[in-house]
Structure 1
Amino acid sequence: MKRIKEWITGVALIKQIAIGLVVGIIIAVFFQPAIPVVKIFGDLFVKALKGVAPVLVFFLVMNAMAQKKEGPGGRMKPVIELYMIATFCASLVGVAMSFLFPTFLQLQVAPDTKLAPPSGIVAVLHSLILSIVDNPVSALLNANYIGILAWAVILGIALKQTASESTRLCLDDIAAAITKVVTWVIHFAPLGIMGLVADSIGSAGLGALLGYAQLLAVLIGSYLLVALVMNPLIVFLKVHKNPYPLVLSTLRESGVYAFFTRSSAANIPVNLSLCKRLGLDPDTYTISIPLGATINMSGASITISVLALAAAHTLGLTIDLPTAFLLCIVSSIGACGTSGVAGGSLLLIPVACASFGIGNDISMQVVGVGFIISVLEDACETALNSSSDVLFTAAAEFGERRKKGTLKASDMVPHA
């Protein structure tokens, strides 16, 4: 058992997920009688995610609000503005791609499930407001993520103003403990994905993989559009110079590392070093880079919006443009609250699905689909998130230099 444990902990989770994916396909194609057995692993994995996600969102957001500290003045304002603009615009790209290339998934919907498309933005806002004022205990029990977010923000603000330092430390420890529990659950992803894939292909045939492939293509296409078109446009509007030397440098020297680590937090030292080589102000980038690893989540906002709309398309819900715009706002806010673990953005999908009236049982199946494609999806998402931390930190400073007339083209590439 000790050797098995050492082997499991020594193999990267992304490789384990890939193995689980392949094994699930093999079981579905060649060993159909085993499908009911391995399906149990998929059901347990989804059930565990459903159990931990509401508590995770509640404590992470509440802790983030309670621990929030004031920034060092006006120097951080342009960076934060770029972070927020880019995250929202990325969600717009994700929504647009979802409408252009609608994706349909294999989901298990109970026969008595009543689903109706929102009648319009007024109905959505009415449902949203009622969800916000839900009893906090009821919100947690029923996985009402809108209510969970609202109460987490309210209690977090109250704790920031009234809690002692020891209380804040205790809250921080609780948030860290819940994050650790999520990490344990995600370590069972290979077995869960094996069961989910085997069950999906066993019931729908190999055609189920086409839905996953199209979903992955829409996601990666959205990431590329943001990285190579939208982000350069934002930088150009800020610095009024060719943005691509800076964009390509950040993708090459930060994005590649983040692709393999799949962690914005683990990529912070790489980003700090790159900022230094770009000649940026250390008083700014030593704060903006760790902050960006938390709130600059363009990739996560794409993931949340695309998967939420995939669920809506699968269920036959018609989403109008105002409701889609509201989804962009929800995705952007939700992306800023993603967990610091691999695949953390997937656990915020139920928040977006709740905007369409999609229940927790169905939205958590979508989360399971997200884990199936996470071998590539999460790596690409993190590469976009982390590389843009440096990109917008540099763009904010270069924009100030442009106003002073001191910006040169050579500043846009890192020094050796």
Structure 2
Amino acid sequence: MSANPTLIQRIMNGSLILQIVVGIIAGICLATFAPASVPSISFLGGFFVSALKAVAPILVFILVASSIANQKKGVQTNVKPVLNLYLIGTLLASISAVLFSYFFPTSLTLVTSNITVTPPEGIVEVLNTLLFKVVDNPVNALVTANFIGILAWAVGLGLALQHANESTKNMLHDLAEAISKIVHLVIRFAPIGIFGLVASTVASTGLSSLLSYSHLLIVLLGSMLFIALVVNPLIVYVKLKTNPYPLVFKCLKESGVTAFFTRSSAANIPVNMELCKKLDLHEDTYSVSIPLGATINMAGASITITVLTLAAVHTLGIEFDILTAILLSVVAAISACGTSGVAGGSLLLIPLACSLFGIPNEVAMQVVAIGFIIGVVQDSAETALNSSTDVIFTAAACRAEEVKAFLTK
């Protein structure tokens, strides 16, 4: 093997964030100084969106099925209080995102020509459509990108395979790893796709379209800050009846900052384990809850799914009631649990939430592409929130159990 990597190897191993930034800048420059050449490269954006459309359905199906099938038996009994906090926190995060999206609506630049959007009339129609999508033929669900049906079959298959042989579970796990590598390969082409998307968008609508992305990013970051500095402390206070902010700030400083730059909850597990040790938490609890939290505690992901979906809903002028918004929150919270381990995983689940509002896959994938554009900051903030919350909730549950044990003596 050559000691000097080739140009392609250096690009593939380079910083994806830096490459996306270069792609955005290059797209703006091309559209500004050489607009006549934009039509010749605009296909790059469409090609990237098509690749995302191709990989997203199978990713959701395999990843969710593998996650459920390989769930260790007895984990819930060891860390049940932590799991409860994980689920409550993720659900409250998506509900908060609904509120932020309602009070600070965002409009996006989407190509909707020749696309028919049939919004639901209310929660009854949503539930009716949801039920029929759940019982869709699994092959048809994959072919037509029926994400509700895909999710239902993945959950059902995962639960059934919990009783399978370990070799079968390992095979499913290996298949999930293989699909993740394919997704990783597709995402490595994000800078090229975003270059084409930005150039095409700026050439047709001007720089004003990019300003809507800044508004979207502000809503996302505002929602995440609200969870980190208001909702999480409130949960800790209810659990411990003491000032939560010393614990919250310590976790944000020692876990959140590191996760912000690594952009990987899995890579931040050793940091969180060491922090739990510093906090003198029960090792039998945090040795399970921290790795598990990196998989299912996805408050940041649920915010991303909810905010981007409702931005598309607002852009298309779709009316929705509060019950539909709550249903979206539940779907976002559940689906967010399966996004770990895959770069941009939360973005690839946006079509699932969009399907609740009758938004076709072609439009949903444009929203996913916009997510990659703002992902330069969004993904880092999302990971920081997810990872720091793992320690916050583990510490709250452990200390609450200690107090409970002391009072029962």
1:143 is matched with 145
Task: Kindly report the root-mean-square deviation, in angstroms, between the aligned alpha carbons of the 2 structures.
Answer: 1.3
Structure 1 residues 96 and 313: CA distance shift in structure 2, 3 A: same
Which amino acid in structure 2 is aligned with residue 47 of structure 1?
S
Partner Cα separation in structure 1 for residue 142 and residue 405 of structure 2: 52
Superposed displacement of residue 10, structure 1: 4.5
Structure 1 residues 51 and 72: CA distance shift in structure 2, 3 A: closer
2:296 is matched with 295
Match status 1:92 vs 2:109: no
Verify the 8 A CA contact 1:179 1:339 in the aligned structure 2. Answer: no
Which amino acid in structure 1 is aligned with residue 247 of structure 2?
L
Which amino acid in structure 1 is aligned with residue 198 of structure 2?
V
Structure 1 residues 166 and 79: CA distance shift in structure 2, 3 A: same
Partner Cα separation in structure 2 for residue 41 and residue 370 of structure 1: 17
Superposed displacement of residue 319, structure 1: 1.1
Match status 1:26 vs 2:29: yes
Match status 1:264 vs 2:265: yes
Deviations 1:85-140 (A, max 9, x none): 000000011010000011111111133x3223321110000000010011100000
Which amino acid in structure 2 is aligned with residue 374 of structure 1?
G
Tell me the TM-score normalized by structure 2: 0.96
Of residues 358-367 and 394-403 in structure 1, the stretch that sits farther from structure 2 once superposed is: 394-403
Of residues 171-180 and 26-35 in structure 1, the stretch that sits farther from structure 2 once superposed is: 26-35
Of residues 229-238 and 395-404 in structure 1, the stretch that sits farther from structure 2 once superposed is: 395-404
Which amino acid in structure 2 is aligned with residue 358 of structure 1?
I
Report 1:227-266 matches (<5 A): 227-266=228-267
Verify the 8 A CA contact 2:290 2:390 in the aligned structure 1. Answer: yes
Partner Cα separation in structure 2 for residue 350 and residue 120 of structure 1: 19
Partner Cα separation in structure 2 for residue 78 and residue 141 of structure 1: 40
1:341 is matched with 342
2:159 is matched with 157
Structure 1 residues 393 and 205: CA distance shift in structure 2, 3 A: same
Partner Cα separation in structure 1 for residue 6 and residue 77 of structure 2: 54
Match status 1:114 vs 2:109: no
Partner Cα separation in structure 2 for residue 11 and residue 330 of structure 1: 34
Which amino acid in structure 1 is aligned with residue 90 of structure 2?
T
Structure 2: 5+ residue stretches without partners: none
Partner Cα separation in structure 1 for residue 281 and residue 23 of structure 2: 44
Report 1:7-406 matches (<5 A): 7-72=10-75, 74-111=77-114, 113-161=115-163, 163-405=164-406
Verify the 8 A CA contact 2:133 2:146 in the aligned structure 1. Answer: yes
Which amino acid in structure 2 is aligned with residue 24 of structure 1?
G
Tell me the TM-score normalized by structure 1: 0.95
Deviations 1:129-175 (A, max 9, x none): 010011100000000000000011111112222x2222211111111
Which amino acid in structure 2 is aligned with residue 351 of structure 1?
L
1:414 is matched with none
Which amino acid in structure 2 is aligned with residue 345 of structure 1?
S
Structure 1: 5+ residue stretches without partners: 407-416
Partner Cα separation in structure 1 for residue 378 and residue 212 of structure 2: 14
Superposed displacement of residue 2, structure 1: 4.8
